[in-house]
Amino acid sequence: MFNQILIPVDLTHQEQIAQLREAARLLIDGAGTITLLYVDPITVHKEALMIQLGESQYVEHQRETQALLQSLSESLQLENVTMNVVTREGTAHDQILEYAVEISADAILMMASRPGFSDYFIGSTAERVVRHADCSVFVIR
């Protein structure tokens, strides 16, 4: 069905990886590519955090994030499927949409978040991606 699948991941909800893996297995067309995209919320305020945390702690955070993403990538590995891991900076929905265009994604596969009070005012990431993506978007509840 799909050859180039983008999966945005939220590292605070790693328990969702099993569901994402199963959905990706059903969607991928034989030998395709799955890209895990992590948009680090800390990097939006990088300069302030580097001052507050110190550069060494910030660098350690980046290193831990990359190690965790690599581990998640290995847990998602499917036969004949190339796995990529990418980290971006900025607003989650903007980065997801931009990167999907950059890699010519056939599909975006993401988890729905439980709506909070702020979602009524600004909307959720999944909602914005569904509304503005140029490819198919699968949202898992």
d(CA 14, CA 16): 5
2-140 is a CATH 3.40.50.620 domain: yes
Residue 122 in this model has a pLDDT that exceeds 50: no
Residue 4 in this model has a pLDDT that exceeds 90: yes
Residue 37 in this model has a pLDDT that exceeds 90: yes
Average pLDDT estimate for 8-31: 87
Across the beta sheet with 136-140, what order do the strands follow? 82-89, 28-40, 2-8, 107-111, 136-140
pTM: 0.85
Residue with token string 């993403």: 69
- Nearest residue to 112 via CA among 122, 100, 103, 124: 124
